[in-house]
Amino acid sequence: MVRFGNNDFAVIAGYGDVVIGSMTIKKVYYVNRLGHNLFSVGQFCDKGLEVTFRKSTCFVRNEDGVDLLT
């Protein structure tokens, strides 16, 4: 289950791996009502990556500070 900011819930329909360039993001969730894939920030942090949110952008960086995703 996924809970949204308005306290509404939706069922995770499935998950899989998504390849973006040379990077594979594992266990990306698909929620029918959402229409977008979801990933766990905690999973990225557990892998030693840094996740930073700015006004309209999310950055994922490796331990050397290199941007992997924006």
Computed on alpha carbons and rounded to an integer, the radius of gyration of the chain in Å comes to 13
Alpha helices in 10-66 (DSSP H): 41-46
6 Cβ contact list (under 8 Å, min separation 6):
none
CB 47 within 8 A of CB 64: no
pLDDT of residue 70: 84
pLDDT of residue 38: 73
Mean pLDDT of 8-13: 89
Q: Tokens for 11, please give them.
A: 């069922």
39 Cβ contact list (under 8 Å, min separation 6):
25, 27, 28, 29
Model confidence over 19-66: pLDDT tens digits? 877 778 888 888 887 877 677 888 889 889 999 999 999 999 999 999
pTM, rounded to two decimals:
0.63
pLDDT of residue 26: 83
